[in-house]
Structure 1
Amino acid sequence: MSTPLGTTASRDQGRTLPTGEIIGRYTSYLDAQKAVDYLADHKFAVQKVAIVGNDLKAVERVTGRLSYPRVALGSAATGAWFGLFVGLILSLFAGSESGITITSSIALGAIFWLLFGVITYAFQRGKRDFTSTSQVIATSYDVLVDPTLAAEARKLLQQLPMQGQAQHPVAGSTGRQGQQPSQPAPDRPAQWNDPYAGQQPPALPPQPAQDPVTADQTAGPGTTGPRRGQLPDLPDGRPQYGERVEDRPAGDPAEQSGTVHGGQSPTGEAENGGPTSSQRRG
């Protein structure tokens, strides 16, 4: 099989992450292994199942403190086992002296391994005075199944009791990852009566319609609300407050000369149509 670019697709499926539907999540690998083993015991197609570890962490557990006597004893024991293995091989060709060969091989292996271990520990100069074991573990383990077989696998795992696993399929669950089905709300007691049943809320009085304020009636750019003085007129057409003053075009001679203080116009007449003070004296 070739790709659109003409290259051959990789056949190593172990280099890609498995895909499928999660039917259970467990906090330890042994619990996930137990779930898969249960599926295998019930003739399930386990070749469609995969265990995926999440959030891998490298863990090193300290087992003890190192010292020269402990290093020497451990190295001698390792050398003795290696000498025993070599002695058994040589005894096949030694004939009647096989016992001496095995004994000498064990002694030589213990001596040489003891010297090698003590010298190696001395070169470390106390930088690592402890023994430990290392392993890679995951925070959680997901059991993945092919989507076409997920319902069957979840039905089988519901029969397996798994204590301490919140996302293990349980009996009666319909959702994924062992979620409990939603329970219906409790029924209302028969003796309970609604004191407000049959009462209608009071009707609110109708609100008068308000004319929308247009953009030319606002106070100016960047502000909202009606302009000062722009109030609705009275029913007969007269202004509600004050007098209506029409906007005059720029450059009007009357606006440039200004009005006479005291309510007089530039022609010497009062604004209300009456004669001026000079005309009354004349």
Structure 2
Amino acid sequence: MANLFGRTRPMDEARIVPTGETIGSYTSYLDAQKAVDYLADEKFPVQHVSIVGNDLKMVERVTGKLSYPRVALSGAMTGAWFGLFIGVMLSFFDGNASGGGTYLNVFTAVLMGAAFWMLFAIIGYAAQRGKRDFTSTNQVLASSYDVIVTPDVAMDARRLLAQLPMNSTASKPLQGQGQGYRPPAAPPAAGTPPARPQGWHDPYGAPTPTGEQGGQNGQADGSSPVESEGQAPLSGPRRGQFPDLPDGRPQYGIRMDKPAEPAGEEPTKDSPEHH
């Protein structure tokens, strides 16, 4: 469409709904208009901005009931204004008329206009035969109005509208979102253990000949690894078993000897003599 102060858009562009990023969503058209006015005041290129109404509805508000007296009065008032305009215009071209004659001509034009318009209004109302006995006003409204801009200037428009204290229901971008932005990875499903980072070593797992991570041949809770069939047992001390020092002392802690058993009883396996 064309206007007096803007450019003329191509016909194909005027027939399609504008696309882009929504920088603001408002429930009132006046709020959307105020947002665009603010962008224009901040020297923003408003030729990239469009206002799109969603869920358009035609609203007809009834203002009153019609009757013959009301129709006649409305027609007489409309005709009086039209007759006054015609009488004043004719008085400018009538140079022979005096001051009193000019007023008379204007008054005559007002009366004739009121009479004719009242007659036409009564005839038109009678022709409807009571099918529309009320007056109303029509208006097209939308449930919400979106302010849409082209993607190349969307970030600048959001930055400017953030300074305007108005309520908007449009979704705001996350901090740091823009070119090269990647959303965070989704959390693992419930019941799935988290993946171990590369290079992680289990300090409680037994060493493996291949140098792999302890979590592959041993359990994650530090218990002894399970030996597969046909495979030699792993060498080295198990958890909780440590060899003594060369002089016979325990490597960790102090060994406590059991008290001597009563005479006449044979020593058990756990006695010091059998150790």
Structure 1 segments, 4+ long, off by >6 Å, are 172-176
Q: Tell me, which stretches of 5 or more residues in structure 2 are unaligned?
A: 1-8, 179-219, 227-275
Q: 1:142 to 1:174 in 2, by over 3 A?
A: farther
1:141 equivalent to 2:131? Answer no
The CA distance in 2 between the partners of 1:99 and 1:129, in whole Å, is: 38
Q: How does 1:41-120 map to 2 (within 5 A)?
A: 41-95=41-95, 96=98, 97-120=101-124
Aligned-partner Cα distance in 2 for 1:98–1:16: 57
Give the Cα–Cα distance (whole angstroms) in 2 for the partners of residues 68 and 111 of structure 1: 15
Partner letter of residue 141 of structure 1? Y
Corresponding residue number in structure 2 for 1:125: 129
Bigger radius of gyration: 1
Taking the TM superposition and a 5 Å limit, the aligned residue runs for 1:1-282 are: 11-12=10-11, 13-95=13-95, 96=98, 97-163=101-167, 165-167=168-170
- Structure 1 length as normaliser, TM-score? 0.55
- Alpha-carbon displacement from aligned partner over 1:5-64 (angstroms, at most 9, x marks no partner): xxxxx9423222222111111111111001101111111111110101111111111011
**Cα gap change, 1:43/1:89 in structure 2, threshold over 3 Å: closer, same or farther?**
same
Unaligned runs of 5+ in 1: 1-9, 177-199, 207-282
Percentage of identical aligned residues: 60
Task: Evaluate the alpha carbon distance shift between residue 118 and residue 169 of structure 1 in structure 2; reply closer, same or farther with a 3 A threshold.
Answer: farther
Aligned equivalents of 1:54, 1:87: Cα separation in 2 = 49
What do the CA deviations read for 1:176-212 (whole angstroms, capped 9, x no partner)? 9xxxxxxxxxxxxxxxxxxxxxxx99x9xx9xxxxxx
Quote how far apart the aligned CAs of 1:168 are: 7.4
- The amino acid that maps onto 1:105 is A
Secondary structure class of the residue paired with 1:90 = helix
Partner of 1:188: none
Residue pair 1:21, 1:145 contacting (<8 A) in 2 also: yes
TM-score, length-normalised on structure 2?
A: 0.56
Contact conserved, 2:65 with 2:133, CA < 8 A, in 1? yes
Distance 1:35 1:169, change over 3 A: farther
Deviation at 1:110, TM superposition (A): 0.4
- CA offsets, 1:73-126, max 9 Å, x none? 111000011111111111112232321221111110000000111111112121
